[in-house]
Chains A and B, each alone.
Chain A
Amino acid sequence: MSIIQKVTGGFVALALVACAQNAAAQNQSFTVEVASSVTLTAPEDSTIPHDTTDANQSFGVSNWGVTCNNGAGATVDFRTTAVFVNGSTERDLEMTVSVVSTDTDAGGTPVWSVTPALTTYSSDYASGDRAGHVQATSGGPGNATLGLAMVFVDNDYSLLPAGDYTVQVTGTITSN
């Protein structure tokens, strides 16, 4: 190799070194931890007087408060394990869940909705059907107020023994 070629090669090598040092880069990470908040708040107990007619007796809609920030949403289940009971006397119930209010996602779609196949449950104690449930679910983070409408089912007041008829509903929220 000639001197000129060696010198030329040296220049090229130095030029490449110079180019390789023209910039530098580094990274730094930022992390946010968001705590989980998945809650269901029951309303006050509800009592109504019978209006002495043969019609079913409605308790109206009770509002249940829901908070949920799980990324995949949550499911709220309202369950009864017995019908209305007054001592040894039973009467059927009908309960229906609805979405009273709900947050919307970034696209404006309501976060919470009622599970179509589990909107209403009607007991039939005469056939042994005393337990059932209704359900609402969400697909992402968002709060809601769910309404639970309870109905005391009876069509003959003259045959209804006096006393208090009571049923308990248990609501459960589970992250999806």
Chain B
Amino acid sequence: MDGQCKISQGSQVNRVSVRPAALCLCVFWLWTAPEAVGQRVDLEPRERALQIDYAFEDQAQAFPPAVWDFRNAGFARGVVVSWELEAFTHTRFPQHQADADVQVRLIRAGSNGRWRITQEYDATNLAAGRESAVVSVASDGRGRGAAELLVRFVIRNPRQVAAGTYHATVTGTISGQ
């Protein structure tokens, strides 16, 4: 019994050694609490897919504006919303690709958060090996916003656009600052 009591005492010593870690976590918690409590960010495109028919005449053909809604309900210091657009790739003949460009416009900046554009325009450049383009907006506080992406299908020579279906994906990401 004595031995077991000693072991029990030993575990008490262990508890003491845990305390610094607990204190560190408390400090960490207090430091992050204003951000973590009720923290929610999300974004959503109003349409999952957009499609156009190529008209051959134009060297850059625009899609209808693609509207995205986003919300920062958690980060007091704001968030960054970015969109990465791939170059267009032929679904049957992947060796046939087409450049894409994208412009972002804020259509709802809200009264809170002070949304602003941080990267308004970008374009792929397949000839130079650049296969994606990125645009972004940011806020300096909590709030809702909406932006539209103006995506264009850009080709080198309209006569040499392979028939068929070209596909590109935009990935939107919202993250706290």
Contacts and interface: CB of A to CB of B under 8 A. Distances in A.
Interface string A130-167: 00000000001111000000000000000000000000
Contacts of A15: 25, 28-29, 32, 36
Interface stretch (A40-48, A64-72, A77-85): A64-72
A29 interface: yes
B-side interface size class? 35 or more
B29 A14 contact: yes
Interface in B22-72: 22, 25-26, 28-29, 32, 35-36, 39-45, 47-54, 56, 61, 63, 66, 68
Contacts of A34: 53-54, 161-166
A52 interface: no
A142 B156 CA distance: 12
A35 B44 contact: no
A51 interface: no
Contacts of A18: 32, 35-36, 39
A150 B88 CA distance: 44
Nearest to B47: A28
A117 interface: no
Interface stretch (A1-9, A55-63, A92-100, A119-127): A1-9
A29 B25 CA distance: 42
A151 B111 CA distance: 81
B163 A28 contact: no
A25 B48 CA distance: 13
Contact of A24 (B19, B28, B42, B162): B42
A11 B22 CA distance: 9
Contacts of B51: 30-33
B53 A71 contact: no
A8 B161 contact: no
Contact of A28 (B45, B61, B74, B159): B45
Given A8-B21, A15-B28, A24-B41, A30 B50 contact: yes
B115 interface: no
Given A15-B36, A140-B162, A141-B96, A29 B157 contact: no
B74 A25 contact: no
Contacts of A29: 48-50, 167-170
A36 interface: yes
Contacts of A109: none
B176 A23 contact: yes
Interface in A10-28: 11-12, 14-15, 17-18, 21-28
5 A-B pairs closest in CB distance: A18-B36, A71-B93, A71-B162, A23-B175, A36-B163
26 contacts: A11-B22, A11-B26, A15-B29, A18-B32, A18-B36, A18-B39, A21-B41, A22-B176, A23-B41, A23-B173, A27-B169, A28-B66, A28-B68, A28-B149, A30-B63, A30-B88, A31-B49, A32-B167, A33-B54, A34-B166, A36-B164, A69-B160, A71-B92, A103-B160, A141-B160, A143-B159
